[in-house]
């Protein structure tokens, strides 16, 4: 099995990477359809020739790294199982403690560190690409700090979840997936509640918006939409990126309206107001809660399918991997592979739903602001600033885009209100 794994990986992965290269760089075109050329959605009308060339190249390389990196974690987890590394991680934890609340987190730490190290080249290549094209302004030390912070936060959260999950597996052989789902619901709500005030500030500095006039206009819009916000937060992102963003997140008393300082630096106030109206639209139409409900429902289906598939996989290959049973922590890489495959299979549906929600938020924003010119200007500036491909290849949109393409968004706004 080891030789076959190495052989097939060495043969198939380069072929897959080459096919991705051909698709992105040779089999798909760039630009907009002829019928849209010369319109506000045509980047040639609002980007220089150099910006247009950079945006096309940047998008292709970025998408290439995404698709090439997509199967890497799964291959690593499979290698960990086939080469017997998983039982070694388990034994190391058992030598340190016999208690599950100690040995399972140790296993999670070892597996996470091993995977992080092997996938680091992809993340570093993405950073270097972003730096080379002027999107990222973050120093290497700052970037590494964020990466390590994300790693340790991920390990901490995952350790808790996996410890509880494997206790349920041992305690409830046939119903662990259901009880895990029941416990997951309050956890998701809790994370949604603390995200704006506990996790986000670990990465960036938040302060009250420095422009009182603009803040008052945004709060007036929020009040019109019955959003219980007393201030608008500005986050210092210019030391890390030239990209722009704004969002409304959190629930209850922890709800926050947030603007990146890069958005304030690059957009006119009218354009900022349109962007904020879009984010307010998500809140008014309860997209935050629909998204939470979607995660909860999909988690139920995912956990049940994982329960069925994990039993089949361990029954067939568990002995050759040194995995005693499903409740053996050594089975975790197999569970991760299954969940990753299920997530990948569901992603086109989730992204399609997200694109529909984003379209609805765009419509809400244009109706609230009644400023079509500012809306189009904002999207054009976002395109230039982020070197965005306004009309990406079909597979890129299908597997990557949670928003409509910039071409679709600008055309929709231009057509809004016409008979």
Hey, where are the domains in the chain? Answer: 41-204+286-415
| Per-residue pLDDT, 417 | 58
pLDDT at 419: 44
Q: What was the pLDDT predicted at 15?
A: 97
Positions of the chain with pLDDT lower than 70, given as ranges: 417-419
Q: What is the pTM of this model?
A: 0.93
The predicted structure's pLDDT at residue 418 = 58
For residue range 121-146, what is the model confidence (pLDDT) as tens digits? 999 999 999 999 999 999 999 999 99
Q: Summarize pLDDT for 377-402 with one digit per residue, the tens.
A: 999 999 999 999 999 999 999 999 99
Catalytic residue from among 271, 279, 358, 408: 279
Mind spelling out the 3-state secondary structure of the chain?
Answer: CHHHHHHHHHHHHHHHHHHHHHHHHHHCCCCCCHHHCCCCCCHHHCCCHHHHHHHHHHHHHHHHHHHHHCCHHHHHHHHHHHCCHHHHHHHHHHHHCCCHHHHHHHHHHHHHHHHHHHHHHHHHHHHHHHHHCCCECCCHHHHHHHHHHHHHHHHHHHHHHHHHHHHHHHHCCCCHHHHHHHHHHHHHHHHHHHHHHHHHHHHCCEEECCCHHHHHHHHHHHHHCCCCCCCEEEECCCCCECCCCEEEECCHHHCEEEEEHHHHHHCCHHHHHHHHHHHHHHHHCCHHHHHHHHHHHHHHHHHHHHHHHHHHHHHHHHHHHCCCCCCCHHHHHHHHHHHHHHHHHHHHHHHHHHHHHHHHHHHHHHHHHCCHHHHHHHHHHHHHHHCCCCCCCHHHHHHHCCCCCHHHHHHHHHHCCCC
Identify the pLDDT of residue 413: 86
- At 229 the pLDDT is 78
pLDDT at 225: 86
415 is catalytic: no
């Amino acid at each position: 099995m080891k030789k076959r794994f190495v052989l097939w990986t060495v043969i198939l992965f380069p072929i897959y990477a080459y096919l991705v290269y051909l698709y992105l760089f040779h089999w798909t075109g760039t630009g907009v359809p002829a019928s849209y050329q010369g319109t506000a959605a045509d980047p040639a009308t609002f980007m220089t020739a150099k910006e247009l060339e950079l945006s096309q190249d940047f998008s292709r390389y970025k998408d290439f790294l995404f698709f090439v990196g997509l199967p890497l974690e799964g291959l690593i987890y499979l290698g960990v199982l086939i080469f017997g590394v998983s039982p070694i991680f388990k034994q190391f934890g058992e030598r340190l403690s016999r208690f599950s609340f100690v040995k399972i987190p140790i296993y999670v730490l070892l597996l996470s560190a091993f995977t992080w190290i092997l996938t680091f080249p992809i993340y570093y290549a993405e950073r270097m690409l972003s730096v080379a094209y002027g999107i990222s302004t973050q120093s290497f030390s700052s970037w590494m700090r964020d990466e390590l912070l994300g790693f340790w936060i991920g390990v901490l959260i995952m350790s808790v979840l996996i410890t509880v999950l494997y206790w349920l597996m041992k305690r409830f052989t046939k119903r662990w997936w259901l009880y895990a789902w029941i416990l997951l619901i309050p956890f998701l709500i809790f994370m949604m509640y603390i995200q704006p005030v506990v996790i986000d500030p670990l990465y960036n500095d938040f302060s009250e918006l420095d422009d009182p006039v603009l803040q008052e206009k945004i709060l007036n819009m929020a009040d019109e939409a019955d959003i219980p916000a007393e201030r608008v937060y500005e986050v210092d992102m210019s030391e890390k990126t030239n990209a722009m963003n704004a969002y409304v997140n959190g629930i209850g008393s922890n709800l926050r309206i947030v603007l990146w300082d890069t958005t304030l630096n690059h957009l006119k106030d009218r354009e900022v107001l349109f962007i904020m109206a879009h984010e307010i639209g998500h809140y008014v139409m309860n997209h935050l809660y629909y998204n939470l409900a979607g995660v909860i429902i999909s988690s139920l289906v995912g956990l049940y399918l994982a329960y069925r598939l994990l039993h089949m996989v361990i029954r067939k290959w568990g002995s050759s991997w040194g995995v005693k049973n499903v409740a053996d922590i050594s089975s975790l890489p197999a569970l991760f592979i299954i969940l990753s495959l299920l997530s990948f299979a569901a992603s086109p549906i989730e992204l399609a739903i997200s694109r529909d929600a984003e379209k609805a938020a765009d419509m809400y924003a244009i109706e609230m602001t009644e400023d079509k010119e500012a809306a189009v200007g904002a999207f054009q500036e976002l395109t230039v600033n982020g070197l965005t491909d306004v009309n990406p290849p079909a597979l890129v949109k299908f597997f990557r885009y949670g928003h409509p393409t910039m071409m679709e968004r600008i055309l929709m706004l231009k057509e809004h209100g016409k008979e």
